[in-house]
Structure 1
Amino acid sequence: MRGLWKCTNSIYNGKRSSSWMYLEGKKNVTVLSGTNSKRLLIDAATKKCLGVEVILPSGETHVFKAKYETIVSSGVFESPKLLMLSGIGPKDELAKFNIETVVDSPHVGQNLLDHPILPHVFRLEDGNGLDHHLLRAGLEHDAAVSAYRWKNQGPYTSGLLELVGLPRIDERLMKYPEYVAAKKANGGLDPFGPAGQPHFEIDFVPMFSDAFQWHIPTPPSGDYLTVIVDLLRPQSRSGTVELNSADPLVQPKINLNFFAEDLDILAMREGVRWVDDVLMRGEGMRDMIREDYPWPMPRTSDAAMDKMILERSQTGFHPCGSARMAPDVARGVVDGTLKVFGVGKLRVIDASVIPVIPDCRIQNSVYAIAEKVYTPRDTIGMRDTS
Structure 2
Amino acid sequence: MNSDTHAYDHDHEHEYDYVIVGGGTAGSVIAHRLTADPDVTVAVIEGGPSDVDRPDVLTLRRWMGLLGGDLDYDYPTTPQPRGNSHIRHSRARVLGGCSSHNTLISFKPLPSDWDEWEEAGAEGWHAAAMDPYYDKLLNNIVSVDEKDRNAIARDFVDAAQAALGVPRVEGFNEKPFHEGVGFFDLAYHPETNKRSSASVAYLHPIMDQRPNLRLMLETWAYRLEFDGTTARGVHVRTKDGEERLVTARREVVVCAGAVDTPRLLLHSGIGPKADLEKLGIPVVHDLPGVGENLLDHPESVIVWETHGPIPENSAMDSDAGLFVRRDPQSPGPDLMFHFYQIPFTDNPERLGYERPAHGVSMTPNIPKPRSRGRLYLTSADPEVKPALDFRYFTDEDDYDGRTLVDGIRLAREIAKTEPLAGWLKREVCPGPEVTDEEELSAYARQVAHTVYHPAGTCRMGAEGDELAVVAPDLKVRGLDGIRIADASVFPTIPAVNPMIGVLMVGEKAADLLRGDAR
Scaled by the length of structure 2, the TM-score of the pair is 0.59
Q: CA deviation at 1:376?
A: 4.2
1:23 aligns with 2:23: no
Letter in structure 2 aligned against 1:40: L
In 2, the alpha carbon distance for the partners of 1:56 and 1:122 equals 47
Structure 1: gaps spanning 5 or more residues: 134-154, 171-188, 378-386
Could you say what secondary structure the match of 1:67 adopts?
strand
What is the match of residue 174 of structure 1?
none
Q: Does the CA contact (< 8 Å) of 2:348 and 2:429 recur in 1? A: no
1:121 aligns with 2:257: no
Could you say what secondary structure the match of 1:68 adopts?
strand
Letter in structure 1 aligned against 2:256: S
Q: CA deviation at 1:220?
A: 6.5
What is the match of residue 273 of structure 2?
91
Q: CA deviation at 1:219?
A: 4.3
What is the match of residue 479 of structure 2?
343
Q: CA deviation at 1:294?
A: 5.4
In 1, the alpha carbon distance for the partners of 2:486 and 2:346 equals 24
What is the match of residue 386 of structure 2?
252
Give structure 1 regions of 4+ aligned residues with deviation exceeding 6 angstroms: 210-214
What is the match of residue 324 of structure 2?
167
In 2, the alpha carbon distance for the partners of 1:68 and 1:94 equals 28
What is the match of residue 308 of structure 1?
443
Residues 253-306 of structure 1 deviation map (CA, whole Å, 9 limit, x = unaligned): 1111110122211121112111211222x2322222221225625542112112
Of 215, 221, 228 in structure 1, the residue corresponding to residue 363 of structure 2 is 228
1:240 aligns with 2:399: no
In 2, the alpha carbon distance for the partners of 1:272 and 1:288 equals 18
In 1, the alpha carbon distance for the partners of 2:349 and 2:493 equals 26
Change (3 A) 1:217 1:263: closer
Q: CA deviation at 1:38?
A: 1.8
Q: Does the CA contact (< 8 Å) of 1:23 and 1:29 recur in 2? A: no
Q: Does the CA contact (< 8 Å) of 2:459 and 2:491 recur in 1? A: yes
What is the match of residue 276 of structure 1?
412
What is the match of residue 152 of structure 1?
none
Q: CA deviation at 1:336?
A: 0.9
Change (3 A) 1:294 1:270: closer
What is the match of residue 104 of structure 1?
286
Residues 106-136 of structure 1 deviation map (CA, whole Å, 9 limit, x = unaligned): 1100000001100221112335x24xx4xxx
Q: Does the CA contact (< 8 Å) of 1:109 and 1:323 recur in 2? A: yes
Q: Does the CA contact (< 8 Å) of 2:269 and 2:281 recur in 1? A: yes
Change (3 A) 1:292 1:50: same
Of 334, 340, 362 in structure 2, the residue corresponding to residue 199 of structure 1 is 334
Q: Does the CA contact (< 8 Å) of 2:393 and 2:401 recur in 1? A: yes
In 1, the alpha carbon distance for the partners of 2:347 and 2:187 equals 20
Letter in structure 1 aligned against 2:370: Q
Change (3 A) 1:351 1:43: same
Residue range with higher mean Cα deviation, 26-35 or 256-265 = 26-35
Residue range with higher mean Cα deviation, 339-348 or 22-31 = 22-31
What is the match of residue 121 of structure 2?
none
Could you say what secondary structure the match of 2:414 adopts?
helix
Q: CA deviation at 1:162?
A: 2.0
Change (3 A) 1:35 1:210: farther
Scaled by the length of structure 1, the TM-score of the pair is 0.79
What is the match of residue 187 of structure 2?
10
Trace 1:123-142 onto structure 2 (pairs within 5 A). 123-127=305-309, 129-130=310-311, 133=312
Task: Work out which structure has the larger RCO, using CA pairs closer than 8 Å and 6 or more positions apart in sequence.
Answer: 1
Q: Does the CA contact (< 8 Å) of 2:302 and 2:430 recur in 1? A: no
Q: CA deviation at 1:19?
A: 1.2
Letter in structure 1 aligned against 2:252: T
Change (3 A) 1:220 1:204: closer
In 1, the alpha carbon distance for the partners of 2:196 and 2:354 equals 29
Change (3 A) 1:163 1:301: same
What is the match of residue 64 of structure 2?
none
In 2, the alpha carbon distance for the partners of 1:288 and 1:100 equals 61
Change (3 A) 1:23 1:304: same
In 2, the alpha carbon distance for the partners of 1:233 and 1:84 equals 28
1:360 aligns with 2:360: no
In 2, the alpha carbon distance for the partners of 1:218 and 1:55 equals 44
Q: How much is the aligned-residue C-alpha RMSD, in angstroms?
A: 2.3
Q: CA deviation at 1:212?
A: 7.3
What is the match of residue 138 of structure 1?
none
Q: Does the CA contact (< 8 Å) of 1:124 and 1:225 recur in 2? A: yes
In 2, the alpha carbon distance for the partners of 1:263 and 1:295 equals 21
The share of aligned pairs that are identical, in percent, is 28
Change (3 A) 1:18 1:309: same
What is the match of residue 380 of structure 1?
none
Letter in structure 1 aligned against 2:428: Y
Of 244, 268, 277 in structure 2, the residue corresponding to residue 62 of structure 1 is 244
In 1, the alpha carbon distance for the partners of 2:461 and 2:288 equals 12
In 1, the alpha carbon distance for the partners of 2:504 and 2:227 equals 31
Change (3 A) 1:54 1:218: farther
Change (3 A) 1:66 1:212: farther
Of 257, 280, 286 in structure 2, the residue corresponding to residue 75 of structure 1 is 257
In 1, the alpha carbon distance for the partners of 2:440 and 2:346 equals 22
In 2, the alpha carbon distance for the partners of 1:371 and 1:122 equals 42
1:39 aligns with 2:39: no
Structure 2: gaps spanning 5 or more residues: 1-176
Residue range with higher mean Cα deviation, 362-371 or 13-22 = 13-22
Q: Does the CA contact (< 8 Å) of 1:71 and 1:348 recur in 2? A: yes
